[in-house]
């Protein structure tokens, strides 16, 4: 399987790292190109052993997959620059937020296109990625796509219309957890802990809880911590009084609407 990464920033690097680390691909089957930053390409070549796309761009013609990993504003120019080198049957795998499959097909023709939304935990192989694909993607290519994406974490196949919700819950989700961690730390300091101790306690509490979340139902886990009339019950009562679920609901709704709006802006 040959892959060309068009766009060689942090998301492309996370994926390259995952592919090589999990032995899904050998470095010699991966090529990279970007807009103009040759030093960046040389870094990726030296660090991972991947190829740099040459002036003739023949790597594109031989690609089974092309990873699109640039900012939405750069998609049009990037696809314009590679279009004449695309072969029928090459799958375009886009991780670009907000740009629809239909828009990509308008720019490249009737190629198979998959649209994925990973998150930054891809860097440590723990992304929660949602993916949707066009009808041109064959069954074999679907299996290959799952392999490619599972090297950076879990994969959930969804309808394209659900990708805005995926973006809110999983794409932006890590930032919401980090914000919760900031709030817990500040509250710990306000309750008398040193910043250093509060930071350490919050970091390990969330890491431990994240591991526990893999093993049981979320509500069951919460109930096990909550003794009748105890400290957790008092804290949860305060969250309920302040309508915590409504606040989180609105946060996800706003993020999802923004994802829809970004898509419309691009069209
Ligand atoms: N970082 C994140 O948390 C997530 C990012 N994404 C999406 O992934 C995409 C890439 O994000 P990052 O890797 O963080 O961006 P980045 O800014 O680190 O990298 C962008 C790359 O695109 C290249 N590029 C720009 N114009 C180009 C052109 N015309 N032709 C070829 N290459 C071109 C740049 O040279 C650079 O290598 C974005 O669309 C973003 O929405 C998706 C999910 C999560
Ligand atoms: O905030 C954003 O727009 C992007 C999409 C998902 C994570 N970061």
pTM: 0.92
**Ligand 2, CB cutoff 6 Å, lining residues:** 97, 167, 171-172
Mutate to test the pocket of ligand 2, among 128, 167, 168, 257 (most ligand atoms within 8 A of CB): 167
Q: Give the ligand whose atoms come closest to the C-alpha of residue 130.
A: 1
Q: Is residue 251 part of a domain?
A: yes
Ligand 2 atom at shortest distance from the alpha carbon of 262 = 3
Residue 170 annotated as binding site? no
One domain for residues 17 and 138 = yes
Which CATH number goes with the domain that contains 101? 3.40.50.720
One domain for residues 152 and 179 = no
Domain hosting 41: range is: 3-158
Q: Reduce the DSSP state of residue 99 to 3 states and report it.
A: coil
Structural tokens at position 232: 């957790």
Query: ipTM score here?
Result: 0.94
Ligand 1 atom at shortest distance from the alpha carbon of 74 = 26
One domain for residues 24 and 93 = yes
One domain for residues 42 and 153 = yes
For the segment 144-192, what is each residue's pLDDT rounded down to a tens digit?
Answer: 999 999 999 999 999 999 999 999 999 999 999 999 999 999 999 999 9
What distance in Å separates the CA atoms of residue 190 and residue 39, rounded to the nearest whole number? Answer: 46
One domain for residues 182 and 153 = no
What distance in Å separates the CA atoms of residue 183 and residue 211, rounded to the nearest whole number? Answer: 21
One domain for residues 142 and 189 = no
**Is 150 exposed, middle or buried (CB count within 10 Å of its CB: 0-12, 13-18, 19+)?**
middle
Residue 72 annotated as binding site? yes
For the segment 181-232, what is each residue's pLDDT rounded down to a tens digit?
Answer: 999 999 999 999 999 999 999 999 999 999 999 999 999 999 999 999 999 9
Number of domains in the chain: 2
């Amino acid at each position: 399987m040959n892959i060309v990464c068009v766009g060689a920033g942090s998301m492309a690097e996370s994926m390259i790292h995952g592919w090589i680390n999990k032995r899904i691909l050998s470095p010699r089957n991966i090529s990279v190109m970007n807009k103009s930053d040759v030093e960046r390409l040389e870094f990726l070549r030296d660090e991972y052993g991947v190829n740099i796309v040459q002036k003739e761009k023949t790597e594109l013609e031989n690609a089974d997959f092309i990873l699109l990993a640039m900012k939405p504003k750069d998609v049009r120019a990037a696809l314009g620059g590679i279009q004449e080198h695309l072969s029928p049957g090459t799958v375009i795998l886009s991780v670009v937020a907000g740009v629809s499959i239909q828009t990509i097909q308008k720019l490249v023709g009737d190629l198979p296109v998959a649209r994925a939304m990973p998150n930054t935990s891809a860097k440590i192989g723990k992304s929660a990625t949602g993916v949707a694909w066009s009808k041109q993607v064959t069954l074999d290519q679907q299996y290959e796509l799952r392999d490619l994406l599972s090297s950076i974490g879990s994969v959930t196949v969804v309808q394209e219309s659900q990708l805005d919700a995926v973006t809110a819950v999983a794409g932006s989700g890590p930032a919401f957890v980090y914000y919760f961690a900031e709030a817990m730390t500040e509250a710990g300091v306000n309750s008398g802990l040193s910043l250093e101790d509060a930071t350490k306690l919050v970091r390990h509490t969330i890491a431990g809880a994240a591991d526990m979340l893999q093993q049981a139902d979320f509500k069951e886990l919460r109930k096990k911590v909550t003794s009748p009339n105890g400290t957790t019950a008092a804290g949860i009562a305060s969250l309920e009084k302040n309508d915590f679920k409504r606040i989180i609901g609105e946060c996800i709704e706003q993020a999802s609407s923004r994802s829809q709006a970004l898509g419309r802006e691009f069209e």
